[in-house]
Amino acid sequence: MREIVLDTETTGFEPDQGDRIVEIGAVELFNHVPTGKTYHQYINPERSMPQGAFEVHGLGDDFLADKPVFKDVGRAFLDFVGDAKLVIHNAAFDMKFLNAELGWANMRLLPMDQAIDTLMIARRRFPGSPASLDALCRRFSIDNSARTLHGALLDSEILAEVYLELIGGRQPDFMLQENGNDSGSVAVSGQRWTPPPRPNPLPSRLSETEKAAHDSFVAALGDGAIWAKPA
């Protein structure tokens, strides 16, 4: 199974108000394991950078001036993504921008059901707890010390680690499976592991005194007790 962990940086929050993508970073996973293949592209937004956005990612007008515009790199981006699932933190935001840019370039749009939203996964797993990427790094002891500014490729690399932890660790498809004796072994399995029967039943925790008291109580109830009636 191929997945693409993805992040974008933008000039703001709303493409329908003129905001644009300025950076895309993506990391490829295959069967939840990073392959080493990445996609990274800075993009000229064809507009000035607001100060607030610059303070987030540090990408200014001078740096982006000689970078390609989206319509010149959109095809390569789509080729890299293909039909893989897109793992995104707050997927609605990035998908909104990606589809706006793709639409302006007259290219195919990405269906929303192609995205896996790690923000939603985190909120379901840890309701009421902070679910930002930094907060999840702290929860899972993931080193994000290099993240002084937002950067699409670095954030996607960090998100890949967070995603693997959110879905159960680096080997989420590994389960305990019966191997023919009394112990279990770790193996890839499509079935849920269940323990084998005990060779010797556990001894009763009910003392003889307690058992006699129970029998006396039941006898005192007579034949009218519910459990004395035939089913």
Which is the catalytic residue, given 32, 89, 150, 214? 150
Positions of CATH 3.30.420.10 in the chain: 2-169
Residue with tokens 């849920």: 192
Question: Is this model's pTM higher than 0.85 or not?
Answer: no
Q: Can 89 be counted among the known catalytic residues?
A: no
- Token pair for 155: 């954030």
Q: Is the predicted pLDDT of residue 29 greater than 70, yes or no?
A: yes
Q: Is the predicted pLDDT of residue 194 greater than 60, yes or no?
A: no
Spatial CB neighbours of 136, under 8 Å, sequence gap ≥ 6: 118, 122, 142, 162, 165, 166
Q: Is the predicted pLDDT of residue 13 greater than 80, yes or no?
A: yes
Spatial CB neighbours of 180, under 8 Å, sequence gap ≥ 6: none
Least confident window among 147-161, 175-189, 203-217: 175-189
Q: Kindly report, residue by residue over 81-138, the tens digit of the pLDDT.
A: 999 999 999 999 999 999 999 999 999 999 999 999 999 999 999 999 999 999 999 9
Least confident window among 35-49, 57-71, 168-182: 168-182
Q: What is the largest CA-CA distance in the chain?
A: 94
Query: What CATH number is given for 2-169 in this structure?
Result: 3.30.420.10
| pLDDT band with cut points at 50, 70 and 90 for residue 188 | very low
Q: Kindly report, residue by residue over 144-169, the tens digit of the pLDDT.
A: 887 767 899 999 999 999 999 999 87
